Structure 1
Amino acid sequence: MTQGLMIPQLPSILQQEQALTLPRFTADDAFEIGVGLRERLRNLSEKPAVVNIALANSNNLLFHATSRPGILPDNDVWVARKRKTVLRFGISSWAMGRKMGGDEAAFAAKFMLGDSAGEYAIHGGGVPVRVTGVEGIVAVIVVSGLKQNEDHQVVIEALEAFARALGSIKA
């Protein structure tokens, strides 16, 4: 993971997400991305993190693993909250956080979340998976356990590596 870079602004985050549209996404692809993510996390940090990849329309779980021992049930709560944000708004949880300036109260008020506000997270780590020619989101990849910008960036880097291997983006 690239260290010491400035945190990107919302337009570049959204552009990056759109550029990572894949030519395909299968259960085997999810496994490959998940294993790669777990390895990236192990190389990045001694802190434990969760990797979760599930289909968007059915909640069908395709991959779930921890990078190291020490995960708490709270990590799975964060996974669910980040995932729900991606599914509802169609952008990464990090992008939504930047869009709202990190202000959870403003987020809850703007979208009239009321008592359900706690079901959503505007913290980095939830990223949509899009496929060329398919309307909407196909799956959601979530990482939870590191700093929110790291949770987001490690998913982006894993998707970039996968897309590069498929030849859908240039090196």
Structure 2
Amino acid sequence: MTDDQLLEELLQEEKELQFDSFSNETALCIGMAIIDRAKAESKSITIDIRIGEQQVFHYACPGTSADNDAWTARKACIVDRFGRSSYYLEVELRAAGKTIADRYFLDPSRYAPYNGAFPIRVRGAGLIGSVVVSGLPGNQDHKLVTAVLRQVIDVSAVH
């Protein structure tokens, strides 16, 4: 798959994975589902969910460190700034052969354009926050977040 194809796929995923409503309880449900999946797969991750600037869910699995907390915060800054998943920015920058500093003049110690942060969008309201995972190799942080969001959104659509 080319970077352009992947960017299109990531945009489509953001369009699909939207909520009709979102609350602290929704964040708790998502956070717990991510923890359950991580435990079942023996993964060591940190999870951070924010609504606006408020951190409404945070959990660090055994085996993580304060570095993972910093990564979640830096990835969340990407969603806040660009309104896109951090994976989208990772691919966009890779395709352009640029860094976050080169392309957008942003400090890489504050902004981490690497997969794992996904925008929380509510239909009719737009971007309201982010779900972030740190700790897995490759694009696995992103895949874990989107798999759980897909599951939670599908379940809520049934009820």
Please give the TM-score of this superposition, normalised by the length of structure 2.
Answer: 0.90
Asked if the contact 1:102–1:122 (Cα under 8 Å) also holds between the matched residues in 2, the reply is: no
Partner SS state of residue 113, structure 2: coil
Aligned residue for 2:125, secondary structure, equals coil
Give the equivalent residue in structure 2 for 1:111. 104
1:102 CA drift (Å): 7.0
1:65 and 2:59 correspond? yes
Alignment correspondent of 1:151: 141
Superposed displacement of residue 109, structure 1: 1.1
With over 3 angstroms needed to count, the CA separation of the structure-2 counterparts of 1:69 and 1:86, relative to structure 1, is same
Pick from 113, 118, 124 the counterpart of residue 115 of structure 2.
124
Displacement of 1:14 in angstroms is: 1.0
Letter in 1 for 2:58: H
The answer to whether 1:97 aligns with 2:90 is: yes
The within-5 A match list for 1:7-156 is: 9-44=6-41, 46-56=42-52, 59-66=53-60, 68-101=61-94, 105-113=98-106, 116-135=107-126, 137-156=127-146
Alpha-carbon separation, structure 2, partners of 1:43 and 1:105: 37
Q: 1:147, CA displacement in angstroms? A: 1.3
Matched residue pairs, number? 157
Alignment deviations for residues 15-73 of structure 1 (CA, whole Å, 9 cap, x no partner): 111111110100111000110011111223x34100110112xx21111112x311111
User: For the aligned residues, what is the CA RMSD?
Assistant: 2.2
Match of 1:117, SS? coil
Unaligned runs of 5+ in 2: none
More strand by share: 2
Distance (Å, rounded) in 2 between the aligned partners of 1:163 and 1:157 = 10
> Taking structure 1 as reference, are residues 163 and 143 closer, same or farther at Cα in structure 2, changes over 3 Å only?
same
**Deviation (angstroms), 1:106:** 3.1
Name stretches of at least 5 consecutive residues in structure 1 with no aligned partner.
1-5
Map of 1:3 onto structure 2: none
Counterpart of 2:23, as a letter, is T
* Equivalent position SS for 1:162: helix
Q: Which residue of structure 2 lines up, in the alignment, with residue 161 of structure 1? A: 151
Q: Percent identity?
A: 31
Cα deviation for residue 118 of structure 1 reads 1.9
Q: What letter corresponds to residue 98 of structure 1 in structure 2?
A: V
